Chain A
């Protein structure tokens, strides 16, 4: 593996280490200076592909249950309409050796108690107890920065794919985490059959510098979209919109400040950015598109961006946005809770958020219905729905761990990868029957209050990867609703041209990012006019945007994209 950095001009440092596998291409000259190894993983030439398959596990699908609703196309998800009564025992024995490992993971919700019956049950079943440190996902990146900077990492560390943009993280990964290649490459179906069931493209996202560094948690293809309260919509007599004007009219209709009810929270930055999505702002390709002349253009520079920002501002001026929304996640209002309690009726969230909301609400408010809007575009024409990394989360193992403990952890990860329809998956998802869940007449499990707290939030779930399915048949209409949404939306799924290429952007481009977020927020929340956008673009270009453009043009050229 080669990790090298670009040279440095006197007053602006450039770090780019485009790491991957296979042939190294030089990124350098001109603005960037120096050299770096740029490589690509999944879509390259035959030579590169063969290089990749040498470091990732060979895909051996695990024979599971046949779904009731098949997926229409890659990217959509299969659905199960009832919970099976006869479960497969995928891991017959307790395979752990009793080593206690420390693990830190993000969670978007309230963390369970640090010791609880759910952890204990899995520890007993796997033979490898874990000491959990569950941290708030919204501020996880900040914590990671400190943790990695201090080289103070636990035995096992879960990182979300969108946290991988931290500058120099590839250095951290190279130095702090174990190379799993020798253990996982090739056919592992004999020893870890459930890890062998993880799709190849997810594994390929875990390769840095020719080494397999992590275990992927596989997520569905979409990043996030508008979510609305269907029950409240029916109560208020409104229906999902088909264009931006309808969205605004709808928002006005549902907003009633005297009752403390507003239409939205911030839908520009948060939860996959649904407003940029309906305005077709390039979010894919890390926010860059290639224009016909071959020049790379940032999403910020497009007309779509301007139209989207102007619309977001219109929403703010129409006073349909919750007054605390400008404070974002730090503004002391929890918008997931505000949505669930009906203080806002439209929000944005990832698709796992629906299931998690149902787990909370099905006990206290059975009428609660949360659904994504059917995909639409601001002009009523063909919509675009953004896709993301299928390796949504990556689990890294500390380099300092001895080999036998790493192997013991992999055995645990194998257990955690048990797919739907296995006994292990039931324990993983719902905990212990009687304590954490009860079954209804159809055999579908439902959390008890304790189960919701301990097992209803993903902890062990994040440690393994399994092809995602929609299986929560205990929530009314949920499986039908979500599978048909996926089967429809997959037609509009936007592919990322850099998929599979591990990219670490130049530091200047990274540093130029936060000021843009701040200034665009100033526009959206009424502190600056929309016409300032041109100035903001200009400042961004000179602060690092142009450097970023040169960088991406190089990436495109080197990889023949």
Chain B
């Protein structure tokens, strides 16, 4: 399939007539008319905008402390001395920063391959279950762990797989050597991914289930009559139907590539050592927050946000090139 160069453009305005300039008045509505027409929608958006303004846009101004020698007590936002890019210079010369960045990227890459497809597979599997009772039961069971806190999840893993946990004690009582699961720095990436799958795969599945429900069942019936097998239907109907959602979530995930979680890592940091468990967020905590060097912490945070933005823009462009909507489009 090779969509024409205008494919994206036509999709953006499906109702517009193909002939350009035939009815300009229908397209260009004055601001006042639009306000009158859309006021209800605008009002509905207001609380959300207010939330963003108060909790995102306004606090974002605080990022200026990344360029300051910030002290909350004596200077504040306005009184702390400016130090230009000194925080950033320090960051790029700090080996520990690069270690944390490396760990973060490794974990993101690993989870992109081993975690990201899991909710899709789970959704597909669950979608093929006919009995609504079993479906809702399984759905409930797999997404419940999402509501557990990381403290609980880590404790649960510790109690079962830890060095003095259920598994280890059972092995010892049968004269076997316990496995080093919770304290091995090498296996840590597998451990955290397994924890993430256990906790969040069921939750991630929901959006794919919703996307699956929008696929026209007639397509399946018709293709089945034409002799398409189970895999052919999956390949030619289900996956193309899910593709926009998969691409959207993938782009969003890439934008968050430098955030792999905080609690999960700080809780297990001592067990496996900082060498394996230090990610950017815990690095900010120890080298920015705990030592009250908020300016430095903000610099690292700004770097994270900047890289995330670049990744989103790049991924979105790639998505457009493949004929997908991505997360936004120029209309």
B164 adjacent to A333 (CB under 8 Å): yes
Contact of B273 among A8, A145, A176, A525 (CB under 8 A): A525
Complex Cα spacing A11 to B299, Å: 13
Contact with A along B255-288 (1 / 0, CB 8 A): 0000000000011111111110010000000110
Complex Cα spacing A176 to B71, Å: 14
| B234, CB-defined interface residue at 8 Å | no
Contacts of B268 on A, CB cut-off 8 Å?
A: 327, 330-331
A327 adjacent to B273 (CB under 8 Å): no
B292 adjacent to A142 (CB under 8 Å): no
Contact of A171 among B69, B73, B96, B155 (CB under 8 A): B73
Contacts of A527 on B, CB cut-off 8 Å?
A: 185, 272-273, 275
The number of chain B residues with a CB under 8 A from chain A is 47
| A31, CB-defined interface residue at 8 Å | no
Contact of A507 among B172, B173, B291 (CB under 8 A): B291
Contacts of B72 on A, CB cut-off 8 Å?
A: 148-151, 168, 172
B274 adjacent to A518 (CB under 8 Å): yes
Complex Cα spacing A299 to B292, Å: 24
B185 adjacent to A324 (CB under 8 Å): no
Contact of A167 among B69, B159, B178, B291 (CB under 8 A): B291
Contact of B164 among A13, A323, A521 (CB under 8 A): A323
Complex Cα spacing A326 to B182, Å: 10
Contacts of B275 on A, CB cut-off 8 Å?
A: 518, 522, 527
Contacts of B69 on A, CB cut-off 8 Å?
A: 8, 13
Complex Cα spacing A8 to B293, Å: 14
A327 adjacent to B270 (CB under 8 Å): yes
B89 adjacent to A145 (CB under 8 Å): no
| A343, CB-defined interface residue at 8 Å | yes
Complex Cα spacing A12 to B89, Å: 10
Contacts of B287 on A, CB cut-off 8 Å?
A: 511, 514
| A258, CB-defined interface residue at 8 Å | yes
B273 adjacent to A521 (CB under 8 Å): yes
Contacts of B83 on A, CB cut-off 8 Å?
A: 8, 10, 13
| A166, CB-defined interface residue at 8 Å | yes
A332 adjacent to B155 (CB under 8 Å): yes
| A487, CB-defined interface residue at 8 Å | no
- Mostly, the A contact residues are helix
A258 adjacent to B172 (CB under 8 Å): yes
Complex Cα spacing A430 to B164, Å: 37
Known contacts A11-B93, A171-B71; is-contact A331 B158 (Cβ 8 Å): yes
Query: Tally of A-B residue pairs with Cβ under 8 A?
Result: 130
| B244, CB-defined interface residue at 8 Å | no
- Mostly, the B contact residues are helix
| B12, CB-defined interface residue at 8 Å | no
| A510, CB-defined interface residue at 8 Å | yes
Contacts of A141 on B, CB cut-off 8 Å?
A: 290
| B169, CB-defined interface residue at 8 Å | yes
Minimal beta-carbon separation of B149 from chain A (angstroms): 12
Residue of A nearest to B152 (CB): A332
Complex Cα spacing A332 to B294, Å: 29
B73 adjacent to A168 (CB under 8 Å): yes
Complex Cα spacing A145 to B288, Å: 11
Residue from A167, A260, A327, A519 whose CB has the most chain B CB atoms within 10 Å: A327
B292 adjacent to A167 (CB under 8 Å): yes
Contacts of A10 on B, CB cut-off 8 Å?
A: 83, 86, 89
Residue of B nearest to A527 (CB): B273
| B90, CB-defined interface residue at 8 Å | yes
| B242, CB-defined interface residue at 8 Å | no
| B183, CB-defined interface residue at 8 Å | yes
A175 adjacent to B273 (CB under 8 Å): no
B163 adjacent to A324 (CB under 8 Å): yes
| A70, CB-defined interface residue at 8 Å | no
Minimal beta-carbon separation of B1 from chain A (angstroms): 51
Complex Cα spacing A176 to B83, Å: 26
B interface vs A, CB < 8 Å?
69, 71-74, 81, 83, 86, 89-90, 93, 96, 151, 154-155, 158-159, 162-164, 168-169, 172-173, 178, 182-183, 185, 266-275, 278, 286-287, 289-294
Q: Please, could you name 16 A-B residue pairs with CB atoms under 8 Å apart, sorted by A?
A: A10-B86, A12-B90, A13-B86, A145-B292, A166-B292, A167-B292, A167-B293, A168-B72, A176-B73, A330-B266, A331-B268, A514-B286, A514-B287, A518-B273, A525-B273, A527-B272
- Having A146-B289, A330-B270, A331-B271, one finds 17 other A-B pairs with CB under 8 Å, namely A8-B83, A11-B86, A11-B89, A11-B90, A13-B293, A172-B72, A176-B73, A262-B164, A323-B163, A323-B164, A326-B272, A333-B162, A511-B291, A514-B286, A515-B274, A521-B270, A527-B275
A interface vs B, CB < 8 Å?
3, 8, 10-13, 141-142, 145-146, 148-151, 166-168, 171-172, 174-176, 257-258, 260, 262, 322-324, 326-328, 330-333, 343, 507, 510-511, 514-515, 518-519, 521-522, 525, 527
**Which 10 residue pairs are nearest across A and B when measured between Cβ atoms?**
A323-B163, A518-B274, A171-B73, A328-B270, A332-B155, A327-B271, A167-B292, A332-B158, A522-B273, A175-B73
